[in-house]
Every structure is written in C-alpha cells, then in structure tokens.
C-alpha cells in the first residue's frame, strides 16, 4: 500500500514540475529567437561582412580578407574605404575615397592633387606609378584630370591603393554617393 501511495505522490507532482519545465523551455526558445532575429537585422541591415576579392586595395586589404561594412548612420570622409555598387560589376568594388563633392582632383603623372594640395598617401606601395599604370591612363577622365576634374556635390573620386592593379575612378570617373553600400569599419 505504501508503494502505491509513493507512486501516487510522485504522479501528483509531475504535472506541476512539467509545467515549470515547459515554461522554462518556452522562455529559452523565446530568448534565442529574439537574439537570432536581432543578429539577422544587424547583419543584413546595419553591419554586413564581405570578402575582399582581388589585389586592387593592396597593401591595405589582401585578396580573401574579410571586412565589416557599416551600412547605416555613417559619414564619408576623405581617406575612408567604401563598398559601392558599380553597373556592370559582378561584385561591389572596395576603394578608398580621395575626393568628395566640390573637390577638384588632378593628376600630374606621378601624384594626385585635391584642391591643389598633393595627396599624402602613406598607405601605398612605394613605387606604384610604373609604366603599366600610366599606359592605361588615357581618355576623357585622364584629360579632365590633367586640368582638374571638379566633382559634383553628390560625387566621390575613389582609387584602389594598388594603383597598378585597380579599376577605379581614374578609369570610369566619379562614383555617385547614392551608389555607396557602406563604409568599411573593420578588417579581420
């Protein structure tokens, strides 16, 4: 009889215990879902990881490096590295902003100038202006840069840090600011 009472006693506690466990599991699942949704929102709408493809930003960025791009709430300044959309490109290019709307950019065959001041570019390889860079430097953009190309208020002039191996504004001209996806905030 005692064994029967013990079993009855245990079974009367089980529903209460099961209820507590269910509440705990439900709360844990709820917390996990909230964290997961928050992470997805952050990763897709605020900060997004990208992999660097190519050598155009060497030595700053290497092929295969990973970058975090801030997509909202950023201000672009000269020297910033940005990711942007370019028509006809399979992947969004990553380049450095050297001039902004209202600036005048010029190139004398060796150095870039912004508003008449030589651009100090400590991030470049020492001898990047080899003949292969200058040989592709022709056309309308090159002619405009000889006398000075003044950017419209919504334009950016972007260049790769590896000038010999970069397809950038010296080839296709300024980039409109509405094409900017985001600003690089971390390299890992």
As annotated, the active-site residues are: 56, 95
Distance CA 174, CA 155 (A): 6
* φ, ψ dihedrals at 29, nearest 5°: -65, -40
**Token pair in block for residue 128:** 């990047």
Alpha carbons 56 and 61: distance in angstroms, whole number: 8
Structure tokens at 177: 């600011």
Report the Cα 1 to chain-centroid distance in Å: 74
Three-class DSSP category at 120: coil
């Amino acid at each position: 009889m005692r064994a029967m009472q013990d079993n009855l006693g245990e079974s009367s506690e089980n529903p209460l215990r099961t209820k507590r466990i269910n509440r705990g599991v439900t709360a844990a699942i709820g917390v996990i879902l909230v964290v997961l949704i928050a992470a997805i929102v952050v990763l897709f709408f605020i900060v997004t990881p990208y992999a660097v493809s190519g050598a155009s930003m060497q030595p700053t960025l290497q092929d295969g490096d990973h970058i975090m791009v801030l997509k909202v709430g950023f201000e672009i300044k000269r020297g910033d590295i940005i990711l942007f959309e370019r028509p006809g490109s399979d992947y969004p290019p990553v380049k450095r902003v050297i001039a902004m709307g209202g600036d005048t950019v010029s190139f004398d065959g060796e150095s870039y100038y912004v508003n008449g001041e030589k651009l100090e570019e400590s991030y470049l390889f020492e001898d990047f202006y080899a003949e292969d860079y200058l040989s592709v430097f022709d056309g309308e953009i090159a002619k405009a840069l000889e006398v000075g190309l003044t950017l419209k208020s919504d334009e950016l002039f972007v260049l790769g840090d590896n000038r010999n191996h970069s397809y950038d504004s010296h080839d296709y001209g300024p980039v409109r600011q509405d094409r900017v996806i985001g600003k690089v905030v971390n390299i890992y």
